[in-house]
């Protein structure tokens, strides 16, 4: 049985080898994907992960992708935050933990813990690219 693959920028990456971590001090995940020819690291805004179905990775209708810094991540622009500005806890990840070969448990600032499949995280990474 072949491992599931996802195509990003014309390269096929193995979904089962995906790794995910939190970018320190930001509401961003660092997703790493591996292929036969190399690896790719993609920064994925937390709001893009939270607005996806945890199993399939499809975008959920009616979910707001507020506080999405995808445009600033792609362009390299600086995002300005005010000192007293509070982030929406719904889109603020507090912890990521690998759950066997299936996926990653993500604990959110609003108290929810959701297990996202590797496929869901791969699709979020492809969408952030």
78-127 per-position pLDDT tens digit: 444 444 445 688 889 999 999 998 899 999 999 999 999 999 999 999 99
In whole angstroms, what is the distance from residue 99 CA to residue 20 CA? 11
pLDDT of 90: 85
Per DSSP, helices labelled H in the chain are 46-50, 70-75, 118-128
Alpha carbon separation from 100 to 17, 18, 118 (Å, rounded) = 12, 12, 11
Tokens 């292929």 correspond to 35
Residues 55-81: what's their mean pLDDT?
Answer: 58
75 SS3 class:
helix
75 backbone dihedrals φ, ψ, rounded to 5°: -85, -15
Tokens 């759950």 correspond to 99
pLDDT of 49: 96
Q: If you count them, how many residues does the chain have?
A: 129
The strand pairing partners of 103, in sequence order, are 99, 117
For the entire predicted model, the pTM comes to 0.79
93 backbone dihedrals φ, ψ, rounded to 5°: -75, 140
């Amino acid at each position: 049985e072949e491992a599931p693959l996802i195509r990003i920028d014309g390269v096929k990456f193995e979904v089962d080898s995906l790794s995910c971590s939190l970018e320190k001090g930001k509401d961003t995940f660092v997703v790493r994907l591996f292929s036969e020819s190399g690896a790719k690291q993609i920064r994925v805004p937390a709001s893009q992960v939270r607005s996806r179905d945890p199993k399939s990775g499809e975008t959920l209708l009616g979910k707001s992708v507020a506080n999405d810094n995808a445009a600033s991540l792609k362009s390299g622009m600086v995002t300005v935050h005010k000192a007293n500005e509070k982030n929406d806890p719904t889109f603020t990840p507090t912890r990521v933990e690998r759950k066997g070969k299936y996926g990653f448990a993500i604990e959110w600032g609003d108290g929810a813990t959701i297990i996202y499949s590797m496929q869901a995280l791969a699709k979020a990474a492809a969408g952030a690219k």
